[in-house]
Copies of this chain bind each other. A is one copy, B any other.
Amino acid sequence: MYRLICTGCGKEYPGDSPAFRCGCGEPLEVLSNRGSKRFYPERQGILNCFSSFLPPLKDESSLSMGEGWTPMPRSFAFVSEFDFELYLKNESANPTWSFKDRGTYLTLLDAVEKGYKGFGTVSTGNMAASVAAYGARMGMNTTILVSKGIPSEKIRPIAIYGPRVIKVDGDYSELYRRTLETGPSKGIYFSNSDVPMRVEGSKTIAFEIYLQLGEKVPDFVIVPTSSGGNIRGIEKGFREIKEAGLSERMPVMVAVQACGCAPIHNAFDSGWEKIERVPDPSTIAHAIENPFPPSGNAVLRMLKKNGGLTLCLKDEEILEAQSRLAGEGLFAQPAAVTSVAAIKKLKELTPLKKVRIVSVITGSGLKYPSILERHSLSVESISIGDLEAAL
């Protein structure tokens, strides 16, 4: 059995502990066993490819839907000549079209192994769809808790998977905390945004980047950051690659937020020890609009320890990047494009000549179609008789 360790105070817990957070309030993570490990890229699926880096989970019920092993095409739209190399880790090619499926899959296996009959999460977007889908695949009673104000067009693509959907009138962070506390006694495994096994799922993004770059670690990895679970997982993945002796160095981790909701960036930029709640969050990048992220302090500690950076983007910058990224073939949701929108500002902070950058594109543009009304898109009209003249 693996062990868990608190990212804050370092206290250890057994892996079968029902707690996902330490008594000190900070998130737990899976304690990596040191030593030499290897990858099995010839095997199918993230669980088998990366088994030597993951806790001993088994998929006896064929619950995998082929999450992970997403493409990483090279980008040209954000790069000028003689500049750096940029790669787009396209997580929209997952079964529910966001990076969440990696962590959801591993948390589901963990839940099954621990004998839970219920599965659930607190989310209004990518995570809700992912948890609803994987819970459905297992045939579990799945509960999705969403905010009171969420519109029907956001609920339907979650509800179609058949979970119990409950709108809750109350504070989101409070709901996050209370579900983790209440879940075990109710027999519900709450696969919330930064629970330990979800962070293990995000590690696999780092492993794939390393393998897709020909067993090399990039110089920068830019990650849209909300709860903080994803960037923690990716950093942990690179840390374990280094600890396994497969690389001598770590990438600079860049946490990107929307300026209208940037609790981690605000704290990092101001040198605070802890994050502070953003009173009135406002951004078009809803998928990273968490005013008081549960892994906020853990991300702050991680960035300070490893020489990471933070940046924030304005809505106009996000829209411009969405358009420019689509203009080279990849249509991503606003939150997801912050990782490429950030490049211009990153250039101002640090020289980027001859470096290798990976931007994580966290989810599909189809997740948030109404944002397209904010783009000016032109359409012509002709009759078929005028076709030759028009072409």
Output the residue of A64, A93, A96, A148 with the most chain B CB within 10 A. Answer: A93
Using Cβ atoms and an 8 Å threshold, which residues of chain B touch A377? 155-156, 159-160, 165
Selecting from A12-20, A28-36, A67-75, A300-308, the interface stretch reads A67-75
Interface residue ranges, A against B (CB under 8 Å)? 42, 62, 64-67, 69-74, 90, 92-97, 129, 133-134, 136-137, 143, 145, 148, 153, 155-157, 159-162, 164-171, 174-175, 178-179, 182-183, 186, 188, 322-323, 326-331, 364-367, 369, 372-373, 375, 377-385, 387-388, 390-391
State the copy count for this chain. 2
Contact A95 B95 (CB under 8 A): no
- Could you tell me the distance in whole angstroms from the C-beta of A315 to the nearest C-beta in chain B? 16
Contact of A188 among B67, B178, B391 (CB under 8 A): B391
Bound together, the chains give a CA A265 to CA B95 distance in angstroms of 31
Q: A159-B379, A165-B379, A382-B169 are in contact. Are A387 and B326 (CB under 8 A)?
A: no
Using Cβ atoms and an 8 Å threshold, which residues of chain B touch A65? 71, 73, 90, 329-330
Contact B167 A365 (CB under 8 A): no
Contact B365 A364 (CB under 8 A): no
Contact of A365 among B157, B179, B365 (CB under 8 A): B157
Bound together, the chains give a CA A388 to CA B168 distance in angstroms of 12
Contact B369 A170 (CB under 8 A): no
Contact B62 A381 (CB under 8 A): no
Contact A161 B331 (CB under 8 A): yes
